[in-house]
Structure 1
Amino acid sequence: MNLYISDLDGTLLNSEALVSDNSKNILNRALNKGINFTIATARTPATVVNILKGINITLPIVTMNGATIYDIKTNKYFYYLTIERKLISTLQNIIAEENLNAFIYSIKDDHIFVYHNILKHPYQIKFYEERKNTIYKTFVQKAPPENLDILYFTIMDYEDKINSLYSRIQHIPGLSLVKYRDTYDKKIMNLEIYHSSASKANAINYLKNYFYFDKLISFGDNLNDIPMFRISDECYAVNNAVDELKNISTSVIESNLDDSVAKFLNSL
């Protein structure tokens, strides 16, 4: 059996960060044919569940760049990896020394709590405002309590500041770093910090083995999709993808604005 997996932002989603009505209709036709399709994204279920509303996906979805797998049928986490506790204070100290603010994602009783300091950067405030009203996660303006299970840190700021932080933490054992330019505001760089084994690729392999899929076909647009592409039997970059991803893809399909992933799946 084949497993088809798509990234969301810049791939399945349009410029308004939505799955178009046309894509939804086409995807449901493909799913009704028996296509095994799911999502791998940097987002949390808090935004993904609403985005996927109306699409008949039954497989668990890979979220938080592979730190978690979420079952949208049961509203429970199917799998997750947390950062070693001994590394948490080290990261917090370095981030503070760089005068940066992190959103720190933790998990307790199948609920996400996001800890942060006072938000000053306009993009961080926008990020918070767009996500604060959800039943799937709770934002808390304080440092996370000790002995909490931390899934990951996400920091968003201008490129020079993110690069400075990245250079200081890139060689710390036990961590996996994902750095990429924001899909919607090219002035902003995102840096996400996970357990060293957390990646889209590892989470997809877990899902693939659990359900006994034989072949993996993936779709993406950004640098954080490279590990997923490298483990795929076939991989397709949308036309708006970064060149690094296009260069390792099986082929380049139409852009995210052309319902390209849905059209591809429905053509099978």
Structure 2
Amino acid sequence: MTDDRRLGLHVFDLDGTLLRSDATLSAYARDGLNALLDAGTRLTVASARSAVAMRGLLAGVRLTLPVIELNGAFLTDLASGRHLAHRTLDEAAAATALDALAHLAAEPVLTTWDGTADRVLHGPCGNPALAWYVEEKRAYGDPRLTACADPRAAVAGTHTAAVITFVPDEEAKAAVTVLEEALGGTAGVLAAANRYVPGWTEIQVAHPQAEKGHAVGLLRRSTGLGRLPLTVYGDHLNDLPMFDVADRTVAPANAHPAVRARATAVTATNDEDGIVRHLLDGAAPC
């Protein structure tokens, strides 16, 4: 009898989990993931990042399963960028979110899809976190970046995957309350401290089912892997929905306390490549 933790389907978060704190995938992690893939391990990623970003960050990793991007807004073929399924805001909900942000004097960034092309629509980027958000994408040549003077007009006749803003940490709770009251149940509101620009909280408005747990279900059904045991890996609160649907849950030691508390295993930190080491070391007979 063996206790091979590599069996089944494995879904990994990126930032804070597979990626190191400088937002890179180490050579050790890249080679380890490829070794797992070559051995037949079924694995993919679920991230708040886009498929465009994933292609750069995971360069050299031979993924074949679809990826979950933008926290579950899209299930996407990584190589082509083709969306296999989507959970996006309707026009009315997107417009309501923009109105609420205008009331808060909070500048939005929109991620949209017109059925063919993806766009990241941004304004002047009037705070450091917004500037970081756009400049990071510009640095890796993100073709979705588009300047936009009128976000309200931009959501007309298209799919809005996310409405994003950044506010100072001390204003985040009140901003979330305003958005939730305006939107009711028509959208989900997620807030998380930005790990790369301290002092700023990212707030994302998305479809209520644009979350990792629901997206993992879509992934399992679309790939025919629903009968396999599911192991998920994450470090932050947006990973908890996929913890809810998994057979096994794994967190690195740097994870949020609420995530560590829900994990069936805790590994070394992301900067020590704890998740990949955990898998590579986990095939010994018992």
1:8 is the counterpart of 2:14 = yes
Q: What SS is found at the alignment partner of 1:165?
A: helix
Q: Is 1:234 the equivalent of 2:248?
A: yes
Residue ranges of structure 2 left out of the alignment (5+ in a row): 1-6
Aligned-pair CA distance for 1:119: 1.4
Please say if residues 18 and 270 of structure 2, whose CA atoms lie closer than 8 Å, have aligned partners that are also in contact: yes
Displacement, 1:56? 0.9
Give the deviation of 1:161 after TM superposition: 2.4
**Are the equivalent residues in 2 in contact too, given 1:3–1:215 (CA < 8 A)?**
yes
Looking at structure 1, the residues matched to 16 and 200 of structure 2 have their Cα atoms a distance apart, in angstroms, of 15
Match of 1:223 among 227, 232, 237: 237
Counterpart in 2 of 1:118? 124
Question: In the alignment, residue 163 of structure 2 is paired with which amino acid?
Answer: F
The structure carrying a bigger strand percent of its residues is 1
2:128/2:197 contact within 8 Å kept: no
Contact 1:68 1:77 in 2 (8 A): yes
1:135, distance to aligned residue in structure 2 (A): 4.8
Question: Which residue does 1:84 correspond to in 2?
Answer: 90
Alignment check: 8 A CA contact 2:94 2:163 kept: no
Post-superposition Cα deviations, 1:187-223, rounded to whole Å, max 9, x if no partner, equal: 2211111111111110111101222222110111111
Superposed, which structure 2 residues align to 1:1-268 within 5 Å? 2-132=8-138, 134-144=141-151, 145=154, 146-171=156-181, 172-213=184-225, 214-267=228-281, 268=283
**Stretches of structure 1 lacking an aligned partner (at least 5 in a row):** none
State the shift of 1:136 in Å: 4.2
Task: Tell me, in whole angstroms, the C-alpha distance in 1 between the residues paired with 2:40 and 2:26.
Answer: 21
Q: Which amino acid aligns with 2:191?
A: K
Question: Which region of structure 1 is more displaced relative to structure 2, 125-134 or 44-53?
Answer: 125-134
Distance verdict in 2 for CA 1:90–1:75, change over 3 Å: closer
User: Separation in 1 of the partners of 2:43 and 2:8?
Assistant: 9
| Native 8 Å contact 2:77 2:83 kept in 1 | yes
TM-score between the two structures when normalised by the length of structure 1? 0.95
Alpha-carbon separation, structure 1, partners of 2:158 and 2:142: 20
Most deviating of 82-91 and 61-70? 82-91
Rounded to whole Å, the distance in 2 between the matches of 1:112 and 1:75 is 9
Matched residue of 2:218: which SS?
helix
Partner SS for 1:247: helix
> What amino acid does structure 1 have at the position aligned with 2:199?
K
Measured in 2, the distance between the counterparts of 1:65 and 1:98 equals 24
| In 1: Cα distance, 2:258 partner to 2:39 partner | 33
Give, in whole Å, the separation in 2 of the partners of 1:205 and 1:93: 32
Deviations 1:98-155 (CA, angstroms, capped at 9, x unpaired):
0101111100243221223321101211211111253541322222432222111111
The separation in 2 between residues aligned to 1:135 and 1:167, in whole angstroms, is 32
Shift of 1:91: 1.2
Distance in 2, matches of 1:203 and 1:136, equals: 25
Distance 2:64 2:41 in 1: 11
Which range moved further: 155-164 or 91-100? 155-164
TM-score (norm 2): 0.89
How far apart are 1:16 and its partner, in Å?
1.4
**In the alignment, residue 71 of structure 1 is paired with which amino acid?**
D
The question of whether the paired residues in 2 share the 8 Å contact of 1:19 and 1:52 is answered with yes
Secondary structure at 2:262 match in 1 = coil
- Over the aligned positions, Cα root-mean-square deviation in angstroms equals 1.5
Count of equivalent residues: 268
The share of aligned pairs that are identical, in percent, is 23
Alpha carbons 2:46, 2:68 under 8 Å: kept = yes
CA distance in 2, matches of 1:107, 1:212: 27
